[in-house]
Amino acid sequence: MPSCQLPMGTCPDMCPAAERARRERERRLHRFEVAPGCCGDRPRADPQRTVKEYCRPAAGKPRPPPSELRPPSVLLATVRYLASEVADSADASRAEVASFVADRLRAVRLDLALQDAEDAEAAVVLEAALATLLGVVARLGPDAAHEPSDLVLLQTQVQEGFGSLRRCYARGTAPHPRQATFQGLFLLYNLGSPEALHEVLQLPATLRACPPLRTALAVVAAFREGNAARLFRLLRTLPYLPSCAVQCHVGHARRGALARLHRALSTSKGQTLPLSFMVYLLALDGPNEARDLCQAHGLPLDGEEKVVFLRGHYAEEGPPPASSCYVLVGSKLRGRTLEEVVMAEEEDEGVDRPRSPA
């Protein structure tokens, strides 16, 4: 039987006019969407700032008409707006920004799924959306520990973004220019997952040979081997987006390294290591973070300069301490905006692209 042909979206705005009017009437505008200078108890929607919100498709409900679906070009412009104007909002908490951006990007993915977009243009939109989401989630930093339920929802959105993008890659016959980079991001975000590693190892050898994916596989190998020195040396060299992807695993990697050091060095009298060495080995943001990390795991300090590995003095209670990860993540922006990173063809010069088979 012939497949049902999906329509192409025709909505020219980031939010359809009908939804804009309805949410304005129902007072369901987010403050990011309200017209500047608007005051009183009936805020007005700014057509240049209002972004279509996610609405779960209901069973039996007809598909939205093309006039309510944004075509890929408008979806990409919407993602760029979220990355440039919302992600860097100075008057909002990072948690509020992440929640808003995640919802609006979910709507972007839904619009894309409901229309007949070509795989190549769909991949560009999905890549930009996923990169933006990784960036805003990584910026939560230590704040994420205060709202674990919200963080779980955001992590679910990231995984759904990877799922949509990787399904798009699988449908295509030709390699996408940034596929190796985003397959590497998938592997880093799921560091330690045997399933994720298995999926990536099924990719064509030419794709796995690309530098971004080769580096991600090297990080996985160091993590699986428990080689902290090599792992954190590799993490220091990662570009910004891969660093955002792997950030959620840094605390567990540091905890594992501390546990191995304790097993190797602890004695009844206690052996010591300089805090400066711990800062270097674990790519910490400074001696204060090294002290906090050691104390959180029950390791005593000898003055201000050394950590003591004393037998019986090591504990793992609750999740690893949250870190700002400036050395491993924040410093790698190097003055760029999130939009510049998101829309870049490739972050580093010399990144090879997969070649089409002859």
pLDDT category at 4 given cuts 50, 70, 90 is low
3: pLDDT strictly greater than 70: no
pLDDT at 345 (0 to 100): 58
Rounded percentage of the chain residues whose pLDDT exceeds 70: 92
- Region of poorest pLDDT, from 78-92, 108-122, 136-150: 136-150
2: pLDDT strictly greater than 60: no
108: pLDDT strictly greater than 90: yes
pLDDT at 247 (0 to 100): 95
Residue given tokens 């860097």 in the structure block: 88
Task: Say what the pTM is.
Answer: 0.91
Name the phi and psi angles at 29, rounded to 5.
-85, 140
257: pLDDT strictly greater than 80: yes
Residue given tokens 């792992």 in the structure block: 231
pLDDT at 347 (0 to 100): 52
Mean pLDDT (the chain, rounded)? 90
pLDDT at 160 (0 to 100): 97
How far are the Cα atoms of 131, 139, 154, 212 from residue 182, in angstroms, in the given order? Answer: 9, 19, 18, 8
The residue ranges of every structural domain in the chain are 17-177, 179-344
Of 209, 212, 186, 210, the residue nearest 198 (C-alpha): 186
pLDDT at 39 (0 to 100): 67
pLDDT category at 191 given cuts 50, 70, 90 is very high
Summarised one tens digit per residue, pLDDT across range 332-358 is 999 999 999 998 854 543 344 444 333
Rounded percentage of the chain residues whose pLDDT exceeds 90: 77
DSSP labels, 19-40: HHHHHHHTT---GGGBPTT--S
If one looks up domain 179-344 in CATH, what number appears?
1.25.40.990
Query: To which H or E segment does residue 96 belong?
Result: helix 94-113
For 231-254, what is the mean pLDDT?
A: 97
- Contacting residues for 41 by C-beta, under 8 A, at least 6 apart: none
For 238-257, what is the mean pLDDT?
A: 96
Summarised one tens digit per residue, pLDDT across range 73-98 is 999 999 999 999 999 898 899 999 99
190: pLDDT strictly greater than 80: yes
pLDDT at 173 (0 to 100): 73
